[in-house]
Structure 1
Amino acid sequence: MTAGRERDGLRAARIKAGLTQEEVARRAGISVRTVRHIERGEVHTPRHDSLERLARVVGYDLAAHGPRPRGGPDERAAAPYEIRLFGPLTLFRAGLPVAAPPKLRALLGLLAVQPDQVVGHEEIADVLWPGDAPPGYAGLVHTYAARLRRVFGQGTGGRGGGRRIGTVRGGYVFNSTGVRLDLHQFEERVARAARTAGFDPLSALELYGQALRGRQGRILQDVPQLWQHPAVVRVAQRHIDVASDLADLALRLNRPGYAVEHLVTATHEDPLHEGLQARMM
């Protein structure tokens, strides 16, 4: 069950803030059922991510009040590294942001937006030195990959002792095992929504909303040299597609207001998209 102090503290903070469970659920991007069950202590192993979302909405300091849920380890503790691709590119190690120079950030973004896939030397060179790769660039790419490995603790990570930045024939692979990656979370929520839509469309609508609200902004918004890369373009288009799917589902359920915030965000990123404009009318 949810720890008593956390449960009571979250509920008291919500009431003090003058918010209903429905309002908290909407702002936190989780279901009303989840809010209700957490407040009643009916969740055996609540996700720490859900508790954090609730706490932020109601202004409750989780760190200062009681332990985390037992039996369900904190995702950040289980995954010492976290990478956020939506919004400014950010790497966290043990919960703290890690600074890196521009070219290292560009390499990290390029590899992380294509997790567990081979990224070739030439592709990396095109990003690090657009249109003008220096002679012997393969050696420089190797140097940057080595530096990025050091950011991940001398390159050890993942099961079997494999390198986080693995060397393969012709390029490198970012091993995402054990890394908290917002791109994965986005896709997981979208997949759950798609599976749920046929038999529980209201829950699917909430899941689509959670996926879209979990984004902190445009993909790699502070790494402009990657904006036109095919993998980044695909992710940006994926956001448009999901926002469109959510809007269509909301209209079928006669809840057009639920779609507005997501359509506005998507239209801001692609103002000329005819499908989004049509749904806004």
Structure 2
Amino acid sequence: MALDDGQFGDSLRTQRQTAGLTQRELAVRAGVSVRAVRYWENGHINTPRMASRQLIQRVLDGAPPRACDRVRIGVLGPLVVHGRSRELGLLRPKAAALFALVAIQPNNEVSRDEIVDVLWDGRPPSSHVRLIRGHGDAVRRMLGPTVDLVSVGRGGYRLRVERDQIDVLEFTALAGRAAAAYSMGDVTRAFELYAASLACWRGSPLVGFDRRLRDHPATVALTARYRAAESVLSSRTVVGMQYSGSTPPTLPA
């Protein structure tokens, strides 16, 4: 149902409530601020710009995200979000660090304690709960509608993504298949899969971030799997083959 121009605020509130959305949820999914939604509903601001109105209408109509809205996250190297490069660059450092923390361990719960440890080295300000929530909202707006940053537990988050949306999952899936092929004696297939897994890497994970992220257990574990795959490819015992693909990135020792 189209939003009513004459009574936009009332129409917006009614349709939002019918859709079962809070003001915050609507704002995050539409990529607008919570304050804007609140002001529109209260009549403090007139009808929004057409672009914002269309985004809101799509959310209220339950339309699936467009293919062009899908993003791909790169963690295995400098942090990138293809399709959201400008938005990523606008994130404040703490929000970017929160995003990096959940992205290095996709689909896993990241507790508030872990967030506090990474963002403030275990010494958070008294307002840290509110700040974390604000950083989470900023990350959601940056990612858009095709990737979910889900609130879990008491102040924690989980980045819910598909394999084709983030290089970490692509790498681990390929490396796992390679190890399985190798254990079954199919060394040729293992060689191909290990080579494909290394192609997911662009350099050391999360370059430019604080050591608490670069030395995070998830980062260390991924680097160890990279070196294991690299070791197999460099071994002359793999059916006498030599790796002939693109040279994999050299990671710092």
What residue is the counterpart of 1:237 in the other structure?
224
Deviation at 1:148, TM superposition (A): 0.9
Divergent runs of 4+, >4 A:
94-97, 256-259
For residues 187-236 of structure 1, what are the alpha-carbon distances to aligned partners after superposition, in whole Å with 9 as ceiling and x for unaligned? 12212222333353223212211211221111112223311111111111
Q: Secondary structure at the match of 1:251?
A: coil
- 1:176 counterpart = 2:161: yes
Q: Secondary structure at the match of 1:91?
A: strand
For residues 89-142 of structure 1, what are the alpha-carbon distances to aligned partners after superposition, in whole Å with 9 as ceiling and x for unaligned? 011237877423322221111001111111111211121122431113111111
Q: Secondary structure at the match of 2:105?
A: coil
What is the aligned-residue identity percentage?
28
Alignment of 1:156-235 (within 5 A): 156-157=145-146, 164-170=148-154, 171-177=156-162, 180-197=165-182, 198-225=184-211, 226-235=213-222
Question: How far apart are the structure 1 equivalents of 2:200 and 2:161?
Answer: 19
Give the aligned CA root-mean-square deviation in angstroms: 2.9
Q: Secondary structure at the match of 1:83?
A: strand
Higher relative contact order (CA 8 A, sep 6+): 2
Q: Secondary structure at the match of 2:132?
A: helix
TM-score (normalised: structure 2) = 0.63
Question: How far apart are the structure 2 equivalents of 1:141 and 1:147?
Answer: 10
Question: How far apart are the structure 1 equivalents of 2:95 and 2:86?
Answer: 18
Question: How far apart are the structure 1 equivalents of 2:233 and 2:223?
Answer: 16
What residue is the counterpart of 2:103 in the other structure?
112
Question: How far apart are the structure 2 equivalents of 1:185 and 1:257?
Answer: 20
Q: Secondary structure at the match of 2:237?
A: helix
Structure 2's unaligned 5+ residue stretches are 1-65
TM-score (normalised: structure 1) = 0.57
What residue is the counterpart of 2:10 in the other structure?
none
What residue is the counterpart of 2:252 in the other structure?
269
What residue is the counterpart of 1:92 in the other structure?
82
- 1:102 counterpart = 2:93: yes
**2:151 partner amino acid:** T
**Structure 2 vs 1, CA of residues 168 and 97 (structure 1 numbering), >3 Å: closer, same or farther?**
closer
**Structure 2 vs 1, CA of residues 127 and 77 (structure 1 numbering), >3 Å: closer, same or farther?**
same
**Structure 2 vs 1, CA of residues 179 and 210 (structure 1 numbering), >3 Å: closer, same or farther?**
closer
**Structure 2 vs 1, CA of residues 142 and 120 (structure 1 numbering), >3 Å: closer, same or farther?**
same
**1:195 partner amino acid:** A
**Structure 2 vs 1, CA of residues 207 and 244 (structure 1 numbering), >3 Å: closer, same or farther?**
same
Question: How far apart are the structure 2 equivalents of 1:112 and 1:105?
Answer: 10
**2:81 partner amino acid:** L
Contact 2:234 2:243 survives alignment (8 Å): no
Deviation at 1:78, TM superposition (A): 7.7
What residue is the counterpart of 1:31 in the other structure?
none
Bigger Rg over Cα: 2
**Structure 2 vs 1, CA of residues 143 and 98 (structure 1 numbering), >3 Å: closer, same or farther?**
closer
